[in-house]
Structure 1
Amino acid sequence: MIPFKQHPNFYIITGGPGVGKTTLLTELQNRGCPVVPEVARQLITEQQQTNGEALPWKDKELYKQRMFERSVKNYVQTEKNGNNRKPVFFDRSFLDTLCYAQLIGSAISEEMQSYAEHWRYHTKVFILPPWQEIYQTDQQRKQDWDEVLLTHTKMKETYNHYGYQTIEVPKTDAKTRADFVLKYTGA
């Protein structure tokens, strides 16, 4: 059984693709806040460079599993680094993988379920809403606008299901968004 862990200073910043998460996290990092990068884009980039199969448009199940494993590893590594006394901002979390599983109609394993229930982040999760004016596709981000909207809805449902409160970050510039997040965290 997975032991219970609670890290009230591990904050998640999430949302659908192309909503400004990376820009917000860069702003937070520029202000001296520890940031844990997103695993999905890293994984996609690596798989593209090595002609790998763990891609959402090749092998969704393998992609899901690798994304989950790396997200858990990020949690453990952040814990080991001792970054648990001041706010640490995660660009997504392993709960995003559970949302992805639902989006593709894939099963959520008992292991994934157990981690979601036992390894906890701060109960407030910052979610960035769909923002069509800034949304762009690229080599790693191929979702159409309907998928962006559905992802946002499912993301909120997933986090709420596991007892998290989603706080919608306003559609505005990165500086104002960072101020909004830091106000909630007291950082």
Structure 2
Amino acid sequence: MQQKIVLIGGPGTGKTSVINELVKRGCFCMPEISREVTLEAKKKGIDQLFLTEPLLFSKLLLQGREKQFLEASKSNEDLVFFDRGIPDVHAYMDFFKTEYPATFFEKSNLYKYSKIFHFSPWEDIHTTDNERYESFEETIEIDRFLMKSYTDLGYCIINVPFGSLKERTDFVINSLACDL
């Protein structure tokens, strides 16, 4: 049975670095798509789609993450890693106090993941750029909403300890070893 593994956490917590390391190690991974959505909007002249049209941005993210989930399900891979999952979408909407359709939550209940690995806010590695503009304080608050969204859906969350990229990636892999 295929395992779908999600890496969650606020912005700048090291998820994508670990995903990239997993790819280097030959793992099948689905990348974070929010940067792609943001860059597509910039091509159309919208500087920060999430800030100007958060509901549209979130609908595009939801569609993209649902597509990733379905693509993973069609693959022959036993193990698929996701850089963020579907529940992240409504967690962010809750953080920004933006109303959204019930389908956001319904999709989170429809598409279930096997395991959730959480990356806590870590000030030593937190950075901002043109697509990641959240301050460290905002990252802490977003992280609370992410944890709530996943625990409300009944997920057991595995916390990834701070450490080097190798240590963190090894932790994820070793935590799955008994399941393989």
Q: State the TM-score, normalized to the length of structure 1.
A: 0.89
**Secondary structure in 2 matching 1:76:** helix
> Over aligned residues, Cα RMSD in angstroms?
1.6
Alignment match, 1:183? 174
Structure 1 residue 108: Cα displacement: 3.9
**Structure 1 runs (4+) greater than 4 angstroms displaced:** none
CA contact (8 A) 1:12 1:93 kept: yes
Residue deviations 1:119-153, cap 9 Å, x none? 1110x310101011111110000111221000111
**Secondary structure in 2 matching 1:120:** coil
Alignment match, 2:150? 159
Structure 1 residue 54: Cα displacement: 7.1
Structure 1 residue 60: Cα displacement: 0.9
- Equivalence map 1:1-187=2 (5 Å): 9-52=3-46, 55-83=49-77, 86-122=78-114, 124-186=115-177
Change in Cα spacing, 1:94 to 1:54, as seen in structure 2 (3 Å) is farther
For structure 2, the 5+ residue unaligned runs are none
CA contact (8 A) 1:13 1:21 kept: yes
Identity of aligned residues (%): 27
**Secondary structure in 1 matching 2:49:** coil
Distance in 2 (alpha carbons) for counterparts of 1:38 and 1:62: 17
Distance in 1 (alpha carbons) for counterparts of 2:2 and 2:155: 12
**Secondary structure in 2 matching 1:82:** coil
Structure 1 residue 98: Cα displacement: 1.1
CA contact (8 A) 1:39 1:70 kept: yes
For structure 1, the 5+ residue unaligned runs are 1-6
Residue deviations 1:95-136, cap 9 Å, x none? 1001011011123422222211121110x3101010111111
Structure 1 residue 8: Cα displacement: 5.3
CA contact (8 A) 2:55 2:100 kept: no
Alignment match, 1:4? none
CA contact (8 A) 2:30 2:80 kept: yes
Alignment match, 1:3? none
Structure 1 residue 174: Cα displacement: 1.0
Give the number of aligned pairs: 178
Q: State the TM-score, normalized to the length of structure 2.
A: 0.93
